[in-house]
Amino acid sequence: MTRKRLGSRVLAVGVLFALLGGTLLATDYYKLPGTKRIEANLYRSEKTLIETRNCYHYTYGEDAVLKYEGPGEYSGSKIIWKDDTTCEVKKMVSVATSQ
Q: What tens digit of pLDDT does each residue of 56-65 get?
A: 999 999 999 9
pTM: 0.68
- Is 54 a residue whose pLDDT tops 90? yes
- Give yes or no for a contact between 86 and 96, defined as CB atoms under 8 angstroms apart: no
The residue count for the chain: 99
Q: Return the pLDDT at 98.
A: 62
Question: Any idea where the domains of the chain sit in the sequence?
Answer: 28-94
What's the whole-number mean pLDDT along residues 13-30? 53
Across the chain, mean pLDDT equals 78
What span, in angstroms and rounded, lies between the C-alpha atoms of 46 and 20? 33
Strand 42-44 and strand 28-39: pairing? antiparallel
